[in-house]
């Protein structure tokens, strides 16, 4: 039995039957990290010591006959833009390469309260800006299915770690597709919950009105267990919704009969790789055969989503990233002149090219002379895009689409062409603009590389997403395939 | 040559005295070792988020209602972006286009009668930290930052350009300060920076409708600085215009030492704040019932109180104005009046001896040892003829320093008035015998000589003689 290939709910059974210990499990995951991570390069910081202490505590609880949660003892990797008390948190940037937060993000506290162990901090595009992990200031994480290819981004480390067995589950963050696209590229389940479903307190902000933390898992059940642990109102985050706690596993039913699923035409045409499209069509047919009603529909403002997203996200980013000035924390480059000189040198040397590009774009969009033409207009279009979804959800319970137009691309292929890179987010960004929940589930392979199917739901209707994904999973076996490492 | 008139608008920042900061639980206490009143949120550490302190909103509404403002039903926060090391996030959370309150006013007294000064808006924002230099900002080898004040709640109150002289500007600030003090939302201490002021000023030929180009003066941390800088700037602008020049729209700073305003930055160098709606805070919907509850909890404001004193207590306008100037003084006055029904006499004492000693010793009324009950007892001793008004001043001075009751002091020092005819006659006769010149003057028709003789008797009795009795005895013998 290879422990590192099991899901959390399978491991939980073994733990409570005392067939394995949490300590053994964590050691097994560490052995796996040691074995594969020099090839995958998912981890920026490994926290074996702390994880083993946490695991032993769980073992003690189990041997005392105490009830433990389904995530107790489960090693979880945390994207390195989510703050962990006493553990270095870099956001993939040189400017925070020496930064250790004095507090933990709410999601981390919740996972720890559930007994999960922290396997370590995983790689990302700098400040979550990117779709390939190549924008990390440290190294590019590899796709476990083909190490010459990218794992996707920005939560590439989170997806690759789970796909490679180097963590059982992980946390990522999704601003324009940063959970769903790497989940698709790496063949795991990834979910961006509804905006406000999960606290952002402790998530290093990229674009505050779009950012949302969510889980990666090897199957839908684990995804539901992760949601159980991390969702809920947080008084420290004013934008977190005051929703009642619910058990997301209650939605795991093998039944989609009567569900009405819409497929936005706009996501199925231009730029979509025909092989990817064929797999999405096959998935539609599969769900139809299981009793769902599947129809084509339309989201008419889709063409405007990309420019709208880039204006809003970058405007917020330019403000959010202003605090990295070398005064209070992080890396400082001493200037020769006054404090402004120190600011400029620190930021010029501390930020990578893509981050600078986005800060410049956002600063430009917010300048008094441009505000009405760019930022304000983008806010208005955002409302129209949201309205598209509202209309669609009057007729459909869920929307289906590809996650990404292509499978994982070779490292280096799009680095010189930012626009090409941005286009790979075309199917995912509208979901963030509208604040809806989205999920990526494996739906097949093209040339040995995984392809994800995107499910988009009504706000706070994660349940229907999980139910549909679970049904699809129960009737396919893509999630049971593992990369050969 | 045209005559010019001045147009002034003020932006006043008032620190709210909530227990905790505007977006976190850190204390707002003044002082403390540098960077001890801080937490991850007010330090702007990566990943932290602001959460609005409801008390701040309540206090802002409270102040706004006292200033006759409309309270918005929908209000939101915005970020003002600019780089400065005393700001932990390099943006300030403030309110840009939808402030919590607008369209208010207050009234000041001018020679032409009361004048309404418009208040265009009142909004909430966070304070920044403080840079500590070695020497001056230009020569210091390095600067240190103290973030204890970062995140302390402020309200900014922006007046309409309705003020037409430095004196009116000062009156406006004093009136504003009085009203805010009444509401209890701030200490309004200019010297500690809990009330700060920036001024916009322009001049124009008398009779022109259009506003002239304005300058903004910063760094006005006393009423004196406000008055002097506005006078200086008025003269400077008129001089420029008379010489055929043009006013440059710019920000200037007041140099107290030099007594002049100096350019700080031009319009071109002005910050482009690149405002954007604060995405980490949800807009606030202000419940109407809440607003009414706050309105209901407002104390009687100085204007209403003043009118009541004139009407109910028949106090002169001037006395009523001064007595209501601070809530503490007015409350003190009313506590006295409740125990003693001669408001005019109480007012005279408070505005006279009481105020004189407060000023002399630099004591706040709250720290004064004389309780209203004690003051009233003193007044009763005068009424009963136990002590004279003159002795009462001596007794009061003692009460002021020791905090003892009037009766105790009178008894201890034997200051009881001498109204005993038999005891007084020998003294009077001795004075008459010793001052034949004055006696002769009086008899020659010089009435003033009587006053001199009374004074001599009072002197001989250390002021304890009953003045009426002395008069009577003297006249009987002259
Ligand atoms: Zn704080």
Task: Choose from A87, A100, A104, A201 for mutation: most chain B CBs within 10 A.
Answer: A201
pLDDT of residue A443 exceeding 80, the answer is: yes
pLDDT band at B36 (very low <50, low <70, confident <90, very high): very high
Mark yes or no for CB contact A368/B88 under 8 Å: no
What tokens were used for A426?
Answer: 């075309």
Asked if A120 and A76 touch (Cβ cutoff 8 Å), the reply is no
Mark yes or no for CB contact A238/B281 under 8 Å: yes
Mark yes or no for CB contact B274/A366 under 8 Å: yes
How confident is the model at residue B94, as a pLDDT? Answer: 97
**pLDDT digit string, tens, across residues A46-102:** 998 889 999 999 999 999 999 999 999 999 999 999 999 999 999 999 999 999 999
Closest CA to A31 of A12, A63, A3: A3
DSSP-based three-state secondary structure for B272: coil
**pLDDT digit string, tens, across residues A458-468:** 999 999 999 99
Pick the catalytic residue: A178, A199, A318, A440? A178
Lowest mean pLDDT among A7-11, A480-484, B196-200, B316-320: B316-320
How confident is the model at residue B373, as a pLDDT? Answer: 87
pLDDT band at A1 (very low <50, low <70, confident <90, very high): low
> Could you tell me the distance, in angstroms and rounded to a whole number, from the CA of residue B151 to the centre of ligand 1?
7
Query: How many CB atoms neighbour CB A258 within 10 A?
Result: 9
CA distance B262 to B248: 12
Chain B: nearest CA to A202, how far in angstroms? 4
CATH of B421-477, one of 1.10.10.410, 3.30.1490.110, 1.20.1440.120, 3.40.50.2300: 1.10.10.410
- Radius of gyration of chain B from its Cα atoms, rounded to whole angstroms: 30
According to DSSP, the β-strands at A293-297 and A398-402 are: unpaired
Asked if A320 and B274 touch (Cβ cutoff 8 Å), the reply is no
Mark yes or no for CB contact A205/B45 under 8 Å: no
pLDDT of residue A447 exceeding 80, the answer is: yes
Mark yes or no for CB contact A319/B46 under 8 Å: no
Higher pLDDT, B112 or B235: B235
- Bridge partners of A146, per DSSP, are A143
Mark yes or no for CB contact B46/A91 under 8 Å: yes
HSE-up of residue A336 (Cα within 13 Å, Cβ side):
0
* Structural domains in chain A, sorted by start: 3-260+397-480 (3.90.1300.10)
pTM, 2 dp: 0.89
Pick the catalytic residue: A21, A79, A94, A192? A79
Would you tell me which residues 287-326 of chain A have a C-beta closer than 8 angstroms to some C-beta of chain B?
A: 315-316, 318-319, 322-325
DSSP-based three-state secondary structure for A1: coil
CA distance B368 to B358: 8
Residues of A in contact with B141 (CB under 8 A): none
Closest CA to A363 of A391, A403, A321: A321
Mark yes or no for CB contact B49/A366 under 8 Å: no
According to DSSP, the β-strands at A398-402 and A260-264 are: parallel
Query: How many CB atoms neighbour CB A420 within 10 A?
Result: 13
Q: Name the residue in chain A with its Cα closest to that of B140.
A: A338
* Mean pLDDT within A385-411: 96
* CA angle centred on B20, ends B15 and B23, rounded to 5°: 85
Chain A: nearest CA to B147, how far in angstroms? 10
Q: Within an 8 Å CB–CB cutoff, is residue A364 touching chain B?
A: no
The domain ranges of chain B are 4-292, 298-413, 421-477
Mark yes or no for CB contact A202/B48 under 8 Å: yes
> Could you tell me the distance, in angstroms and rounded to a whole number, from the CA of residue B148 to the centre of ligand 1?
9
The minimal CB distance from A236 to the residues B49, B145, B279 is found for B49
> Could you tell me the distance, in angstroms and rounded to a whole number, from the CA of residue B150 to the centre of ligand 1?
8
- Radius of gyration of chain A from its Cα atoms, rounded to whole angstroms: 21
- Bridge partners of B12, per DSSP, are B157, B197
pLDDT of residue B268 exceeding 70, the answer is: no
Asked if A270 and A306 touch (Cβ cutoff 8 Å), the reply is no
pLDDT band at B137 (very low <50, low <70, confident <90, very high): low
Q: What is the DSSP letter of A480?
A: G
Pick the catalytic residue: A93, A136, A154, A440? A154
Active site residue A79: yes
Q: What is the residue-averaged pLDDT of chain A?
A: 95
How confident is the model at residue B109, as a pLDDT? Answer: 85
How confident is the model at residue A253, as a pLDDT? Answer: 97
Residues of B in contact with A83 (CB under 8 A): 46-47
pLDDT of residue A270 exceeding 80, the answer is: no
Q: How many residues does chain B have?
A: 478
Report the phi/psi class of residue B134: left, alpha or beta, with left for phi > 0 and alpha for psi in -120 to 50.
Answer: beta
Query: How many CB atoms neighbour CB A288 within 10 A?
Result: 14
Q: Measured between alpha carbons, how far apart are the two ends of chain B, in Å?
A: 71
> Could you tell me the distance, in angstroms and rounded to a whole number, from the CA of residue A282 to the centre of ligand 1?
54
How confident is the model at residue B46, as a pLDDT? Answer: 98
Residues of A in contact with B273 (CB under 8 A): 368
> Could you tell me the distance, in angstroms and rounded to a whole number, from the CA of residue A347 to the centre of ligand 1?
25
Asked if B34 and B132 touch (Cβ cutoff 8 Å), the reply is yes
Report the phi/psi class of residue A469: left, alpha or beta, with left for phi > 0 and alpha for psi in -120 to 50.
Answer: alpha
pLDDT of residue B126 exceeding 90, the answer is: yes
* CA angle centred on B267, ends B261 and B271, rounded to 5°: 105
Residues of B in contact with A363 (CB under 8 A): 274
* Mean pLDDT within B173-186: 94
Give the Å distances, CA to CA, from A52 to A21, A27, A74, B413. 11, 8, 11, 83
What's the farthest any 2 CA atoms get from each other in chain B? 97
Q: What is the DSSP letter of A410?
A: B
> Could you tell me the distance, in angstroms and rounded to a whole number, from the CA of residue B38 to the centre of ligand 1?
4
**pLDDT digit string, tens, across residues A186-236:** 999 999 999 999 999 999 999 999 999 999 999 999 999 999 999 999 999
How confident is the model at residue B286, as a pLDDT? Answer: 97
Within B52-114, residue ranges assigned H as helices are 54-66
Backbone angles phi, psi at A395, to 5 degrees: -105, -25
Counts of helices then strands in chain A (DSSP H, E): 15, 11
Chain A: nearest CA to B36, how far in angstroms? 14
pLDDT of residue B434 exceeding 70, the answer is: yes
Q: Tell me the torsion sign for CA atoms A438, A442, A445, A450.
A: positive
Mark yes or no for CB contact B89/A323 under 8 Å: yes
How confident is the model at residue B403, as a pLDDT? Answer: 82
How confident is the model at residue B418, as a pLDDT? Answer: 73
Asked if A198 and A237 touch (Cβ cutoff 8 Å), the reply is no
DSSP string, A175-201: SSSTTHHHHHHHTSEEEEPPTTTB--T
Asked if A125 and A135 touch (Cβ cutoff 8 Å), the reply is yes
Asked if A15 and A73 touch (Cβ cutoff 8 Å), the reply is yes
Counts of helices then strands in chain B (DSSP H, E): 16, 16
CA distance B131 to B402: 43
DSSP-based three-state secondary structure for A91: coil
How confident is the model at residue B427, as a pLDDT? Answer: 82
Asked if B1 and B242 touch (Cβ cutoff 8 Å), the reply is yes
Asked if A338 and A388 touch (Cβ cutoff 8 Å), the reply is no
């Amino acid at each position: 039995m290879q422990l590192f290939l099991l899901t959390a709910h399978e491991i939980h059974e073994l733990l409570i039957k005392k067939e394995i210990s949490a300590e053994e499990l964590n050691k097994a995951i560490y052995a796996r990290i040691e074995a594969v991570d020099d090839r995958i390069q998912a981890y920026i910081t490994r926290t074996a010591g702390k994880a083993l202490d946490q695991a032993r505590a769980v073992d003690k609880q189990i041997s005392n006959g105490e009830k433990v949660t389904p995530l107790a003892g489960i090693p979880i990797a945390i994207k390195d833009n989510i703050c962990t008390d006493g553990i270095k948190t870099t956001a993939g940037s040189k400017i925070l390469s020496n930064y250790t937060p004095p507090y933990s993000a709410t999601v981390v506290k919740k996972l720890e309260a559930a007994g999960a162990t922290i396997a370590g901090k995983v790689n990302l595009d700098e400040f979550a800006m990117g779709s390939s992990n190549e924008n990390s200031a440290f190294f590019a994480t590899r796709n476990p299915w083909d190490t010459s290819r990218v794992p996707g981004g920005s939560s590439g480390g989170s997806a690759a770690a789970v796909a490679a067995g180097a963590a059982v589950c992980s946390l990522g963050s999704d601003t324009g597709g940063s959970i769903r696209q790497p989940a698709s590229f790496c063949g795991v389940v990834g979910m961006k919950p509804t905006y406000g479903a999960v606290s952002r307190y402790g998530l290093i902000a990229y674009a505050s009105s779009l950012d949302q933390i969510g889980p990666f898992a090897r199957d839908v059940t684990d995804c539901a267990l992760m949601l159980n642990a991390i969702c809920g109102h947080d008084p420290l985050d004013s934008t977190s919704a005051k929703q009642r706690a619910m058990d997301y596993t209650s939605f795991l039913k093998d039944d989609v009969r009567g569900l009405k699923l819409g497929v936005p035409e706009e996501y199925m045409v231009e730029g979509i790789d025909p092989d990817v499209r064929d797999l999405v069509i096959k998935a539609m047919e599969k769900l139809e055969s299981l009793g769902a009603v599947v129809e084509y529909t339309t989201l008419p403002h889709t063409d405007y989503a990309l420019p709208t997203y880039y204006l809003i996200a970058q405007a917020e980013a330019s403000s959010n990233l202003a605090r990295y000035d070398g005064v209070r924390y992080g890396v400082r480059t001493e200037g020769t002149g006054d404090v402004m000189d120190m600011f400029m040198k620190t930021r010029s040397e501390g930020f990578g090219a893509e981050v600078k590009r986005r800060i410049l774009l956002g600063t430009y969009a917010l300048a008094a002379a441009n505000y009405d033409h760019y930022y304000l207009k983008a806010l208005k279009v955002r409302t129209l895009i949201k309205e598209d979804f509202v209309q669609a959800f009057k007729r459909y319970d869920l929307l289906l689409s590809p996650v990404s137009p292509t499978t994982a691309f070779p490292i280096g292929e799009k680095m010189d062409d930012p626009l090409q890179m941005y286009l790979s987010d075309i199917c995912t960004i509208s979901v963030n603009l509208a604040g809806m929940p989205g999920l990526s589930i494996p739906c097949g392979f093209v040339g040995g590389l995984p392809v994800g199917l995107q499910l988009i739901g009504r706000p706070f209707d994660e349940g229907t997403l999980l139910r549909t994904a679970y049904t699809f999973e129960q009737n396919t076996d893509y999630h049971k395939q593992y990369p050969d490492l | 040559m045209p005559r010019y008139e001045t147009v002034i608008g003020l932006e006043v920042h008032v620190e709210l005295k909530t227990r905790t900061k505007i977006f976190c639980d850190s204390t707002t206490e003044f002082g403390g070792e540098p960077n001890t009143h801080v937490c991850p949120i007010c330090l702007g550490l990566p990943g932290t988020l602001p959460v609005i302190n409801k008390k701040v909103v309540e206090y802002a509404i409270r102040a706004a209602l006292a200033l006759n403002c409309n309270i918005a039903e929908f209000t939101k926060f915005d970020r003002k972006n600019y780089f400065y090391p005393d700001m932990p996030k390099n943006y300030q959370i403030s309110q840009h286009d939808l402030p919590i309150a607008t369209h208010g006013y207050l009234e000041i007294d001018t020679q032409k009668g009361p004048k309404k000064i418009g208040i265009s808006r009142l909004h909430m924002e966070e304070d920044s930290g403080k840079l500590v230099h070695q020497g001056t900002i230009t020569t210091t080898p390095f600067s240190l930052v103290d973030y204890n004040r970062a995140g302390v709640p402020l309200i900014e109150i922006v007046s309409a350009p309705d003020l037409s002289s430095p004196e009116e500007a000062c009156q406006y600030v004093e009136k504003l300060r009085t009203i805010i003090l009444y509401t209890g939302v701030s200490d309004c201490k200019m010297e500690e920076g809990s009330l700060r002021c920036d001024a916009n000023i322009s001049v124009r030929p008398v009779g022109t409708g259009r506003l002239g180009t304005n300058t903004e003066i910063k760094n006005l941390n006393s009423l004196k600085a406000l008055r002097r800088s506005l006078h200086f700037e008025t003269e400077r602008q008129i001089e420029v215009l008379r010489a055929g020049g043009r006013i440059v729209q710019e920000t200037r700073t007041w140099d107290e030492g030099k007594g002049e305003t100096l350019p700080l930055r031009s319009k071109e160098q002005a910050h482009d704040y690149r405002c954007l709606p604060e995405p980490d805070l949800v807009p606030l919907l202000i419940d109407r019932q809440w607003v009414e509850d706050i309105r209901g909890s407002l104390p009687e404001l100085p204007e209403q109180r003043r009118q009541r004193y004139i009407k109910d207590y028949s106090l002169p306008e001037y006395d009523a104005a001064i007595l209501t100037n601070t809530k503490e003084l007015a409350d003190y006055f009313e506590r006295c009046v409740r125990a003693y029904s001669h408001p005019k006499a109480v007012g005279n004492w408070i505005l006279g001896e009481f105020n004189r000693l407060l000023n002399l010793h630099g004591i706040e009324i709250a720290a004064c040892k004389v309780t209203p009950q004690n003051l009233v007892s003193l007044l009763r001793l005068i009424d009963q003829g136990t002590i004279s008004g003159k002795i009462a001043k001596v007794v009061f001075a003692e009460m002021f320093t020791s905090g003892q009751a009037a009766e105790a002091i009178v008894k201890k020092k034997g200051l009881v008035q001498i109204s005993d005819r038999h005891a007084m006659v020998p003294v009077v006769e001795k004075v008459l015998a010793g001052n034949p010149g004055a006696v002769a003057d009086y008899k020659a028709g010089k009435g003033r000589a009587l006053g001199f003789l009374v004074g001599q008797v009072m002197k001989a009795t250390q002021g304890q003689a009953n003045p009426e009795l002395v008069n009577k005895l003297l006249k009987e013998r002259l």
